[in-house]
A and B are shown apart, each in its own frame.
Chain A
Amino acid sequence: MSTYTPEGLRGTSSSGGSRRPTPPAKGLGLRGWLRWSWRQLTSMRVALLLLLLLAVVALPGAFFPQRRVNPHLVNQYFEDNPTLAPLLDRAYMFDVFSSPWFSAVYLLLFTSLIGCIVPRTLAHIKALRSAPTRVPARFTRFPVRSQRVAHADPAQVGKALHAVINRRYRTTVGTETREGQQVRTISAERGYGKETGNIVFHLALVGLLVVTAWGQFVHYRGQAMVIEGSTFVNSALDYDSFEAGALFDPESVEPYRIRLDEFVGEFTVDAQPRDFTAHVTLFEVGGDSSAETIRVNHPLSVSGSRVYLMGNGFAPDLTITDSSGQVAHDGPVPFIPADNDLGYTSTGVVMVPDANDGERQLAFNGSFLPTAVQADDGTYLGSAYPEPMDPVLVLQAYTGDLGLDEGMPRNLNVLDTTGLEQITTTQDGAEVPLQLELRPGQTAELPEGQGTVTLNDLPRFVALDLRYDPAPLWQGIFAALAFGGLVASLFLPRRRVWVRLFPGPQGTTVVHAAALARHDDPGLRAELDRILAVLPGQGPKE
């Protein structure tokens, strides 16, 4: 492999990510080895290896479900592959992006990047401040070169050439003595932007990583369900779930409030969702309030945080009385639509811990069907449409001890029936589980005077996701820098042109010129032709 020599570092051996490191001689000790390892790490070959390795270690993250992305899919995977899954799990296949080796690879890569780019940056700054290189002794070693005769004296020719070169190049003009002759020279260089772009690109990648990490440390994120007419306060307590970074500052949670006034969903005739809009009122901390909308793709920005609309559904408003006739529950309960069910077949749980003074508590689980579809025998199959065209709430009822005092964390959307007894009814002489079917405005009675359930109304609820993370702005800035740097680095030409002007006989000048570019440069020959075209008194080129 040939080694790459960064601009301006040629001939120096102090730094840079480019020399091929030679292993230290025996007996150099720890320092020698450290030095050697550092050189290895910042070598181009290792950087390349790490870049490809990063691609390789990232790939399993696309094949296996990831806990951080979708824990349900991971559980599903465990159920489907009970023997394989634990093995994969031990190999971090479900946590690829927080696995030790993924972290190791990207940290090494970025260390290598910094070790490589810092010396390059210093060298480039030096190059920016110094004059173009001196004119090389021989031109024949350059693949692009020309010799011409100009019918004017060297001073005139030099002036004309300098004028045209200087437009795009940084130039130095000099003289040297060659075989007893005074020879004028021009040394010119353009395209410092290419190297600048390269450095900006690589540094911007480091910047991107740093701001992203910073965002992770200070961010917080919470989820809450808000029902039409109710208000949600931005405070850790009011969230259904809340998580924050290690350096999270509780002060950054501003207690503004959001009231959901109305939710509007638009659907096509075949139930495809088209638009969701949450009309809310925002009450800011200072006391100002304003009407706002939150839509998919259009989060609401409130003082550094953003509120996203992540889901929606129905929250049947129920009034439940117990055996004494007292109202034990009064209010809406969110029923969660099934994933990917266009008809919003939703499930939910209603717990009534206050029933019968907590002695014999009540609980219900069941489905809400906005547009119920029934089989011929009357059983409910599901919902055909997400709007309430023919809404039915189907509930099973339980009684007993809800076990809420034990403080066990529980999924609020699944009823834990331990300690509960299902309420039954007699049908055709057989005892079957009781099923309540309610349409808005209807009341159903529980058997043996155990109470009543009334479906009053069908308000909508929205699932809001609130995130505070100061990183995106900076991520955007660094991404834009990286992009600009990449374009400059790949497409700006980096060229050098040298000219020697020998005095010829009868007031003519013999012009020797050579040009060199960094990387392939198909336009180099044309560029030299363009420059030489100004030579005075030149015959047309064949």
Chain B
Amino acid sequence: MNEQLATLSTLLIYGSIASYVVAMVGFAVDLSGFGKGADPNRRRKAVGIAMSTSWLGLIFHVLAVVLRGIAADRVPWANMYEFTLMSTMFTMAVFLVVNRYKDIRYLGVLVALINVVALFVAILLLYVGAEGVQPALQSYWLVIHVSVATLSTGLFCVGAAMSVLQLIRGRDERRRAGHRAEGASDEGPAGADGDGSRGAAHGGSGGAVPAAGAAGRASSLATRSASTAARSAEPETVPAGAGVAAVETIDVGGEEPEVLPARATFWSRLLDALPSAISLERLAYRLNAVGLVGWTFVLITGAIWAEYAWGRAWGWDPKEVVTLVVWLIYAAYCHVRLTTGWNKRTFAYFSLAGFAALMFNYYGVNIFINSLHSYSGI
């Protein structure tokens, strides 16, 4: 009975991989449609199929994880194969859930690709049978610690994918803006930031407000609120006796599309369909910040669990060391992001460095380094 369930779980994973492959192709066809200059307002059939198959894949994926847990009679995240199932499940879930609030379908190809590769590696190289676990792993702290670790991994993963797109998009923007206005959009101050100390530099009635250009060609993939109204006359005071009609409703602010000259190559049209590097960076930061909170929780619960299982909260075991390094990099990332007005590209490099450390922590430490976390007997 249990073996059948475990087999069924594996079959579901194959089904999930197949769905993600279809989704990946769908997302790619959709993107290349933009490259070929298709009407951004067309019915995007390919992306519709891609989204449906992504959801289908996720449903298979969740079922596979649940069956795995039933087959092993414990929570299904106790070995590398299962960690991968969980992390990729969360990666897809984070992508799909975020997408309900903000259109990020442009990220679909990357997310589906990552999932397909990671799941293949898991099935081919990391597979182990659904069995019970050694005593040190039997703890409710394991349940909390590892599930949050895989969730954070999912968040960091989508964040890193976002940073990759940001870099590609930013490079394109810079190239296009020419060296005339080096990185006008890529290197601006960190958003609406700095308690006015920065924005103040732009003062002056009707003066240049960052990024508050006239509504240009709305980016076609990302839905945005183009709430900007014309700011032709925005008086700072109301002259005595002025007619009411002279002052209409004026609203400034919110996210605004930037204007870029239209171009004609496949690549350029495709990239034009993406949100600006600034918006991508902002999304990446938001995902990574939530990921950092999760990772902090992972560090703390890991220490508590180690206190119970091994009689010390912190013992500089390789896994602990690299987990701390991952945390330090993402903490430094938040520091840089919150306290400096550095180039946005730098933030993306931090985000990717953090993710690289995370991947090393996962594959490198588990496979190549002798760690308590990979021990098998008491």
Please give the residue numbers on chain A whose beta carbons come within 8 Å of chain B beta carbons, in ascending order.
1-2, 4-5, 7, 10, 18, 44-45, 47-48, 51-52, 54-55, 58-59, 61-63, 65-66, 68-70, 73, 96-97, 136, 138-149, 178-181, 212, 221, 268, 272-276, 295-299, 306, 308, 310-312, 339-342, 465, 467, 472, 475-476, 479-480, 482-483, 486-487, 490-491, 502-506, 508, 510, 512, 515-522, 524-526, 528-529, 541-542
Contact = CB atoms under 8 A, between A and B. Distances in A.
B199 to A, nearest CB: 5
Contacts of A310: 311, 378
A486 B249 contact: no
B202 to A, nearest CB: 6
Contacts of B266: none
Given A62-B365, A144-B253, 4 more contacts: A180-B240, A341-B377, A483-B293, A490-B293
B261 interface: no
Interface stretch (B33-41, B76-84, B184-192): B184-192
8 contacts: A2-B194, A59-B321, A179-B237, A181-B238, A306-B311, A308-B311, A479-B300, A504-B242
A501 to B, nearest CB: 10
Interface stretch (B57-65, B107-115, B149-157, B325-333): B325-333
Nearest to A180: B240
B3 interface: no
B135 A4 contact: no
B297 interface: yes
Given A140-B204, A149-B249, A51 B332 contact: yes
A343 to B, nearest CB: 10
Main secondary structure of the interface of B (DSSP, over half): loop
B123 interface: no
A206 B370 CA distance: 31
Contact of B244 (A59, A73, A505, A525): A505
A520 B289 CA distance: 12
Contacts of B312: 467
A148 to B, nearest CB: 5
A138 B236 contact: yes
Nearest to A342: B377
A136 B195 CA distance: 12
B296 A483 contact: yes
B285 interface: yes
A525 B254 contact: yes
* Residue among B134, B189, B210, B375 with max Cβ neighbours from chain A (10 Å): B134
Given A48-B335, A529-B251, A55 B329 contact: yes
Contacts, number: 256
Given A143-B252, A144-B254, A297 B309 contact: yes
Contacts of B190: 519-520
Interface centre among B195, B241, B244 (most CB of A within 10 A): B195
B236 A139 contact: yes
Given A272-B132, A467-B311, A179 B240 contact: yes
Interface pairs A-B: 6 shortest CB-CB: A144-B253, A2-B341, A525-B254, A296-B135, A4-B339, A520-B191
A367 to B, nearest CB: 17
Nearest to B191: A520
Contacts of A275: 135, 138
B369 interface: yes
Given A44-B335, A274-B132, A61 B237 contact: no
B359 interface: no
Nearest to B338: A519
A140 B338 CA distance: 24
B23 interface: no
Contact of A522 (B227, B255, B293, B341): B255
A491 B286 CA distance: 10
A487 B237 CA distance: 40
A520 B281 CA distance: 11
State the majority secondary structure of interface residues on A.
mixed
A66 B207 contact: no
A405 B29 CA distance: 83
Nearest to B255: A522
B143 to A, nearest CB: 12
B332 A482 contact: no
A58 B135 contact: no
Interface of B: 131-132, 134-136, 138-139, 189-200, 202-207, 209-212, 225, 227, 234, 236-244, 247-255, 282, 285, 289, 292-293, 296-297, 300, 303-305, 307-318, 321-322, 324-325, 328-329, 331-332, 334-336, 338-342, 357, 365, 369-370, 375-378
Contact of A136 (B196, B247, B289, B315): B196
Contacts of A2: 189, 194, 198, 340-342
Contacts of A96: 316
A276 B124 CA distance: 33
B51 to A, nearest CB: 23
A508 B131 contact: no
Given A59-B321, A273-B378, A486-B293, A141 B247 contact: no
Contact of B238 (A54, A146, A510): A510
Contacts of B321: 58-59, 61-62
B193 A48 contact: no
A1 B340 CA distance: 7
Contact of B243 (A295, A475, A505, A522): A505
Residue among B315, B339, B375 with the highest chain A CB neighbour number at 10 A: B339
Contacts of A147: 234, 247-250
Contacts of B340: 1-2, 4, 44-45, 48
Contacts of B243: 505
B369 A475 contact: no
A296 B378 contact: yes
Contacts of B285: 520
Given A61-B321, A479-B300, A519-B338, A273 B377 contact: yes
Given A62-B322, A66-B316, A517-B192, A143 B331 contact: no
Nearest to A539: B249
A508 B289 CA distance: 45
Nearest to B335: A48
Contacts of A221: 311
A149 B307 contact: no
A149 B370 contact: no
B308 A299 contact: yes
Contacts of A512: 236
A156 to B, nearest CB: 16
Contact of A528 (B212, B253, B307): B253
Given A59-B325, A181-B240, A276-B378, A520 B253 contact: no
Nearest to A476: B304
B377 A146 contact: no
A490 B334 contact: yes
A293 to B, nearest CB: 13
A141 B316 contact: no
Contacts of B209: 140-141, 143
A340 B227 contact: no
